[in-house]
Amino acid sequence: MSSEPLLSLENLSAHYVSQQGSRVVRAVDEVTLSLSAGGTLGIVGESGSGKSTLALTILRLLPPAARIVSGRMMFEGENLLDKSDTEMRHVRGKRIAMILQDPMASLNPLFSIGNQVGEPVRVHEGASRANAWKRAVGLLKAVRIASPETRVTQFPHEMSGGMRQRIVGAIGISCEPRLLIADEPTTSLDLTIQAQYLNLLRDLQREHGLALIFITHNLGIVAKMCDQLAVMYAGRVVEQGPVSQIFSAPVHPYTKALLGSIPRMTDNRDHLTAIEGQPPDLASLPPGCAFAPRCAMAFARCRVEAPPEFAVDEGRTARCWLAAPDAEAKATMMRSSVA
Ligand SMILES: Nc1ncnc2c1ncn2[C@@H]1O[C@H](COP(=O)(O)OP(=O)(O)O)[C@@H](O)[C@H]1O
Ligand SMILES: [Mg+2]
């Protein structure tokens, strides 16, 4: 645990700002997270909690309306926020790659599979057309696509959904990145294909020593894939730590609520919306803890003062007054609850 993490986000905040500047959506708010080389971090949270914005922030691919307002993003010892756009283009694809939710959106219908799978190798490694084509064949083999020599000559519409997802995966690993970010990569797949794809990602991770950030709605997938977990609520990480510890003893009431409806691996429904109430508008957050209006355990203090990140155990934190370590804080909380 003493070795330096591959990626470490420190108090990272990214907001969407309306043109007049009157509406500020705090999509990523003071996020502190780290991931070691070869590790797998799951990020879960309801729709709109900031997961995709966090992924786009790491890649510095935010739309023009967004601003990274504070923090640091250390990756292999360098702050990605200090990099120029040109330097970031070299980081993307080559050292950090991303797999998007919808494979069709990442594939160009007009170009052959071989062309698209080989492109990052040409761009980042200066490979010749012929060599890139050979690499494409090898990469299709690596993602377990049969008859890769034929498949490279075909086009996206000639592939099944599962195959397209594998091809996007092949593009992701084409330059042997150190970190792969997968944003809900299985949502569009049926269950059998989904399970196969997850096995494939795990194999690739083992074979290539990749670190993986896995964004998902599905806690069954987290259990299968991840060793670390970050739970996001309203742009903030409200609980994080080793998956096994969080699953066996969740601290934050939001995490408890999520785990109360833990799906089986074969269950593909969106359980995270099963919690009563609505997530807050990120442009007008309530004072105090953003989860307080939905929280069965909330005390008066929770409604006036946002909890800081408390250390719960080694490598575990929670943003909840219930996790306050000192008796005094708890006593204050209790007092304010009767007041
Ligand atoms: N391009 C955008 N402009 C303005 N607000 C956005 C934009 N994209 C996302 N948001 C807002 O940012 C918040 C977080 O969204 P997102 O990161 O997509 O969450 P998730 O991936 O967890 O569903 C939401 O409130 C969403 O409405
Ligand atoms: Mg998303």
pLDDT of residue 274: 63
DSSP of 182-225: EESTTTTS-HHHHHHHHHHHHHHHHHHT-EEEEE-S-HHHHHHH
Q: Say yes or no to pLDDT of 264 above 50.
A: no
Tell me the pLDDT band of 102, cut-offs 50, 70 and 90. Answer: confident
> Mean pLDDT over residues 305-313, rounded?
94
> Mean pLDDT over residues 152-161, rounded?
94
Tell me the pLDDT band of 292, cut-offs 50, 70 and 90. Answer: very high
Residues 222-237 pLDDT 10s: 999 999 999 999 999 9
Q: Which residue has the higher pLDDT, 309 or 189?
A: 309
pLDDT of residue 266: 44
CB-count exposure of residue 21 (10 Å: 0-12, 13-18, 19+)? exposed
Tell me which residue has its CA closest to atom 11 in ligand 1. Answer: 27
Ligand 1: centre distance to CA 113 (Å): 31
Which residues neighbour 182 within 8 Å (Cβ) at sequence distance 6 or greater? 98, 99, 172, 201, 212, 213, 214, 215
Ligand 1 atom at minimum distance from 235 CA: 14
- Does residue 27 have its Cβ closer than 6 Å to ligand 1? yes
> Mean pLDDT over residues 62-70, rounded?
95
Ligand 1 atom at minimum distance from 56 CA: 17
Q: Say yes or no to pLDDT of 270 above 70.
A: no
Ligand 1 atom at minimum distance from 55 CA: 17
Q: Which residue has the higher pLDDT, 263 or 295?
A: 295
Tell me the pLDDT band of 331, cut-offs 50, 70 and 90. Answer: low
Q: Say yes or no to pLDDT of 87 above 50.
A: yes
- Per DSSP bridges, beta strands 7-17 and 24-35 are antiparallel
pLDDT of residue 328: 56
> Mean pLDDT over residues 9-26, rounded?
94
Tell me which residue has its CA closest to atom 8 in ligand 1. Answer: 53
Q: Say yes or no to pLDDT of 92 above 80.
A: yes
> Mean pLDDT over residues 302-316, rounded?
94
3-state helix, strand, coil in the chain (%, to 5): 40, 20, 40
- Does residue 15 have its Cβ closer than 6 Å to ligand 1? no
**Percentage of the chain lying above the pLDDT 70 cut:** 91
